[in-house]
Amino acid sequence: MYDTNLKRHSCGERDHVEPDVIAESVVEQRVSHFLMGLAIMGTMTGPLLVVLHIMPRSIFAGVFFIVGWGSIESNGILKRLIWLVREPRFIQPTDPLLTIRRSKVGLYIFWQALGVLSSVAISQTIAAIGFPVLIIALIPLRWKLLPKMFTIKELTVLDALTADNEVVLASLGGKPEMPEQKSDDPYDEVEKGRPTEGIRQRVSNIH
């Protein structure tokens, strides 16, 4: 159960209103998951398999195409590639990517594509058994190498948390502290800046 309140923040000449969602209680039930399990088992029974067999394959192909296209549209690599080739007049002025150099966006896409292509390539060879090792090897790449190539501001925009809801983060023990946020050099902190304030300042300037 959630309770939503509105918070008003003063941002220059205009006020900014944002929702504040508070989790008041959790209602746990297993009925829906139990019914889903029964439905999955039902699809493996003889009578239903006979019915599915007489359905045209084009129907299933259309369903899989729609589902697959939905995943393609939400793909981060494709979205940023489209952003790079899109005309500036079609880009929203509040887009956070506008606060980053286009060359840095392209460099981040390169590392993303390299990880995907490496994973696909190894899965097509006899070394496919080492696929989990490759995935684990991407962790130090993000943890050690990328913070040296991108600033805090750039990584905050390009590699934002997938789970950013406060309730979800609380269930995970709090918001994780990324390596690029652990800097002991005061000059480095001033040079990189705090990304959220930088983005808000740019947005307020536009208004």
Q: Where are the domains of the chain?
A: 29-74
pTM (2 d.p.): 0.57
Tokens read off for 74: 């939400």
Question: Residue 180, Cβ neighbours under 10 Å: how many?
Answer: 21
Tokens read off for 135: 């995935």
Q: Which of 112, 93, 206, 192 is nearest to 158 (CA)?
A: 112
Helix (H) or strand (E) holding 72: helix 57-73
What is the average pLDDT score of the chain?
78
Reported in sequence order, the residue ranges of the chain that DSSP labels E, i.e. its strands, are 2-11, 14-23
From residue 187, give the alpha-carbon distance in Å to each of 10, 131, 147, 151, 192: 29, 40, 16, 13, 9
| Average pLDDT per 10 consecutive residues for the chain, totaling 207 residues | 72 69 72 86 81 85 87 84 90 90 93 90 87 89 88 86 73 71 47 42 40
From residue 206, give the alpha-carbon distance in Å to each of 82, 157, 198, 202: 23, 19, 13, 6
What are 196's strand-pairing partners?
none
pLDDT of 175 reads 75
Q: How far apart are CA 44 and CA 39, in angstroms?
A: 9
Question: Can you tell me whether residue 48 is helix, strand or coil?
Answer: helix
User: Tokens 């490496």 label which residue?
Assistant: 118
CB 12 within 8 A of CB 207: yes
pLDDT of 184 reads 45
In angstroms, the first-to-last Cα distance of the chain is 36
